[in-house]
Amino acid sequence: MTDAQRAAPVTPDVLTVPRKLPESDKINLVGLTRDGLRAALINAGTPEKQVRMRLGQIWQWIYHWGVRDFASMTNLGKDYRSFLADRFEITLPDVVNRQVSADGTRKYLVRIAGGHEVETVYIPEENRGTLCVSSQVGCTLTCSFCHTGTQKLVRNLTAGEIVGQIMLVRDDLGEWPEPGAPKDETRLVSNVVLMGMGEPLYNFENVRDAMKIAMDGEGLTLSRRRITLSTSGVVPEIARAAEEIGCLLAVSFHATSDEVRDRLVPINKKWNIETLLGALRSYPKLSNSERITFEYVMLKGVNDSDEDARRLVKLIQGIPAKINLIPFNEWPGAPYERSSWARIESFAEIIFQAGYASPIRKPRGEDIMAACGQLKSATERARKSRAEIAEETGVRNAPGSI
């Protein structure tokens, strides 16, 4: 941490929202795919010949206009609006706390069903705004440099809780268009990265459904090229991510030998560097404009030598790639230190000379512990059973639930 960063004041902008009343037994429409919404409308008794039109209208109200109550859906008949309101709801997770960093980064503490908490981070930049979304409460994996990795997995987020993070941040930024106004091109949330808490490929179906909703052209309309899924290396799910989600891929690589990667990213013991690289080589849709991002955390004296940089370049030969160097973000009790800037720059230069883009990620929101790998909620409970999760979320037989 530099002195300037250490001295940065924490803006006393903390928003606290009262807890919501007990959850209702209405079906929440947020997070249902188009097929799911169609089935819900039909099951509730919407005549089949009307369903196509109703679905399109409701979808637009929810995801384009950000409307939360059926009474505002003015192109639906009054009776149908109250029919919907009796059966369904449009609800997002609660924001229980918001902190704004001196650099403009916003960290939201989000409470989901069951009282668990995850964090969502909004990072404004000059020409874009990136939202870092969580996919699990905690993580099953135990990467030794990651704060989330010290927390047990509590449960997977539902698709609604994942896409809900995008929607609640749009609420906070006032980004929904006014009903009746022309489509607005200003995007405060222009990019989404699945780099918050959790391993997205261990919650595949919910992440996929949430991203499908985010990409839908009639709603949030985020381009698939503006969504990046980061994985620690769940090899069997990598090709599936390309086929079923089609977003960009980032891989937490972090080491150039199995011996070191085993220690940093223990999933390496299951799928080692060679196996992982094999999966990346055959990642469909590879082209120069859709490179794979190799994330590489810079840990002093562990993985940051010039020798490592040269090995890295050799290993990834032939894969259209960019290497994102992440200066280690410290957290209380972390067993590592950040490499010096001189070391990081020397490492970056070797990679750059080999023909790869090697941006050094600028740490953001460090004063509010919002930087990469610093997220950890207070929820320390052990993992939940299927039945308990179904009870909490109201989602029966949720695909991808653990």
Q: Are strands 292-298 and 191-194 parallel, antiparallel or unpaired?
A: unpaired
| Binding status of residue 374 toward ligand SF4 by CB under 6 A | no
| Binding status of residue 297 toward ligand SF4 by CB under 6 A | no
Q: Are strands 136-137 and 191-194 parallel, antiparallel or unpaired?
A: unpaired
| Binding status of residue 148 toward ligand SF4 by CB under 6 A | yes
295 binds, among ligand SF4, ligand SAH, none (CB under 5 to 8 A by kind): ligand SAH
Q: Which of 199, 237, 304, 308 binds ligand SAH (CB under 6 A)?
A: 199
Distance between CA atoms of residues 214 and 297, nearest Å: 29
DSSP for residue 111 = E
Find the helix or strand (DSSP H, E) in which 117 lies: strand 117-124
Distance between CA atoms of residues 366 and 121, nearest Å: 11
Candidate segments 26-34, 105-113, 156-164, 325-333, binder of ligand SAH by CB under 6 A: 325-333
Q: Which two tokens stand for residue 71?
A: 């009474």
Comparison of 84 and 137: residue with beta carbon closer to ligand SF4 = 137
User: Is 372 marked active-site?
Assistant: yes
215 binds, among ligand SF4, ligand SAH, none (CB under 5 to 8 A by kind): none
3-class state of residue 294 by DSSP: strand
Comparison of 156 and 230: residue with beta carbon closer to ligand SAH = 230
Q: Cα 185 from chain centroid?
A: 23
| Binding status of residue 191 toward ligand SAH by CB under 6 A | no
Distance between CA atoms of residues 276 and 232, nearest Å: 10
Q: C-alpha distances in angstroms, 342 versus 253, 312, 349?
A: 21, 19, 11
DSSP 163-207: HHHHHHHHHHHT-SPPTTSPPP---SS-EEEE-SSS-GGGGHHHH
| Binding status of residue 302 toward ligand SAH by CB under 6 A | no
State the number of binding residues for ligand SF4 (CB under 6 A).
Answer: 11
Specify the length of the chain in residues: 402
Active-site residue among 132, 146, 247, 372? 372
308 binds, among ligand SF4, ligand SAH, none (CB under 5 to 8 A by kind): none
DSSP for residue 141 = -
Q: Which two tokens stand for residue 153?
A: 């997995």
Q: Which of 100, 113, 123, 141 binds ligand SF4 (CB under 6 A)?
A: 141
Residues 238-297, interacting with ligand SAH (CB under 6 A): 252, 295, 297
Q: Which of 203, 329, 339, 401 binds ligand SAH (CB under 6 A)?
A: 329
Active-site residue among 119, 161, 295, 366? 119
Distance between CA atoms of residues 61 and 120, nearest Å: 24
User: Is 132 marked active-site?
Assistant: no
Candidate segments 58-66, 138-146, 165-173, 342-350, binder of ligand SAH by CB under 6 A: 138-146
Q: Are strands 191-194 and 227-231 parallel, antiparallel or unpaired?
A: parallel
β partners of residue 338: 299
Q: Which of 252, 256, 268, 393 binds ligand SF4 (CB under 6 A)?
A: 252
Comparison of 265 and 351: residue with beta carbon closer to ligand SF4 = 265
Q: Cα 197 from chain centroid?
A: 8
Candidate segments 49-57, 110-118, 226-234, 342-350, binder of ligand SAH by CB under 6 A: 226-234
Least Cβ distance, residue 82 to ligand SAH (angstroms): 43
Asked whether the beta carbons of 324 and 361 are under 8 A apart, the reply is yes
Can you give the binding site for ligand SF4, defined by CB under 6 A? 139, 141-143, 146, 148-149, 198-199, 232, 252
Can you give the binding site for ligand SAH, defined by CB under 6 A? 143, 145-146, 195, 199, 230-232, 252, 295, 297, 326, 328-329, 372-374
So which residues are the catalytic ones? Answer: 119, 372
